[in-house]
Amino acid sequence: MYPSTFTYYRAGSVQEALKLLVENPDAKLLAGGHSLIPAMKLRLASPSALIDISRVPELAGIRDAGDRIVIGATTRYDDIQRSELVRQVLPILPEAIDVIGDLQVRNMGTIGGSLAHADPAADLPAVVLALGAELKAVGPDGERTIPADQFFVDLFTTALQPNEILTEISFPKPPARTGMSYQKFANPASGYAVVGAAAVVTLGEDGKVAAVRVGVTGAGPYAVRRQNVEQALVGQEPTAAAIEAASQLASEGMTFNSDIFASDEYRAHLTRVFVKRALTRAVERARG
């Protein structure tokens, strides 16, 4: 519970943060700190410096950008949960945030912090995959956009370069007849996802599945999309049987974590079950 010595910097702007990152190659960015600081207290992480970006004004906030909703990387969970715009258009975000940690965590934790940390059991990675979000990063060479599908690379590893800062997450507004749901099986000790499944389903006028995206977190080393499930459902009538059959594919081709609470075999089973539950709920909601 006693971190090693580090230097603390507070950045006033993204540019200043970038400069500090270049000057301190071993530094870590600090936003909400709810993953990083516990790791430092246990000396699992011992960065030489922290660059606090939590007060950089341009990094926080939620805005309506026409056909997209853009959320700044240091926007806190609680602010997202309270946003009327988000609740109307992307209800899966408050649904997922509601099961993250406790009130204190949600008051401090940030969306960008969670995504950039890429904890294998974090909730939001599954959600951004299912929503087809885009993540914007700024580095010394300028700005680039990373699709959520390419963002999560491995255990605690993302497509971000060490000298890049995640600045915002941009979500397409879903079309009509879209339903979405996040279903989570929480670890009773940590509250983290043993398995979390996010599903976003758009139905055509004929009631068949026009589009579907499924993201899974907790089960493996990093959050993944389940295209095989999606492909099995597109164009289908989303009956219970069709959802059940598609969900059976959810665990195919995945690597599963194993720990004292849940073995890999059990996680594979839970992946199928929770993908099914998320799809079922999303379809119900899409039907209104």
190: left (phi over 0), alpha (psi -120 to 50) or beta: alpha
Q: By C-beta, is 210 or 245 nearer to another protein?
A: 245
Shortest distance (Å) from residue 180 CB to another protein: 22
Q: Using CA atoms, how far apart are residues 86 and 271, in angstroms rounded to an integer? A: 27
The residue behind tokens 């000396």 is: 43
Q: By C-beta, is 150 or 258 nearer to another protein?
A: 258
- Which 3 state secondary structure label does DSSP give 265? helix
Q: Using CA atoms, how far apart are residues 119 and 209, in angstroms rounded to an integer? A: 31
With contact defined as beta carbons under 8 Å apart, do 77 and 97 qualify?
A: yes
Binding site for another protein (CB under 8 A): 1-5, 42-43, 185, 187-190, 192, 259-263, 266, 269-270, 273
Q: By C-beta, is 48 or 150 nearer to another protein?
A: 48
Shortest distance (Å) from residue 72 CB to another protein: 29
Other Cβ atoms closer than 10 A to 172? 14
Q: What does the DSSP assignment read for 78-131?
A: HHHHH-HHHHHH-THHHHHHTTSS-HHHHHH-BHHHHHHHT-TT-SHHHHHHHH
Position 263, amino acid = S
Shortest distance (Å) from residue 42 CB to another protein: 7
Shortest distance (Å) from residue 241 CB to another protein: 16
Q: By C-beta, is 142 or 188 nearer to another protein?
A: 188
Shortest distance (Å) from residue 38 CB to another protein: 8
Q: By C-beta, is 38 or 253 nearer to another protein?
A: 38
Q: By C-beta, is 114 or 167 nearer to another protein?
A: 114
Q: Using CA atoms, how far apart are residues 256 and 267, in angstroms rounded to an integer? A: 7
Q: By C-beta, is 163 or 248 nearer to another protein?
A: 248
With contact defined as beta carbons under 8 Å apart, do 202 and 211 qualify?
A: yes
Shortest distance (Å) from residue 119 CB to another protein: 11
Shortest distance (Å) from residue 117 CB to another protein: 15
Give the list of residues 6+ apart from residue 120 with CB closer than 8 angstroms, or none: 155, 156, 217, 218, 220, 221, 222, 223, 257
Residue 170's closest CA among 96, 77, 62? Answer: 62
Shortest distance (Å) from residue 263 CB to another protein: 6
Tokens of 221: 């080393």
Residue 184's closest CA among 275, 265, 269? Answer: 275
Q: By C-beta, is 77 or 171 nearer to another protein?
A: 77
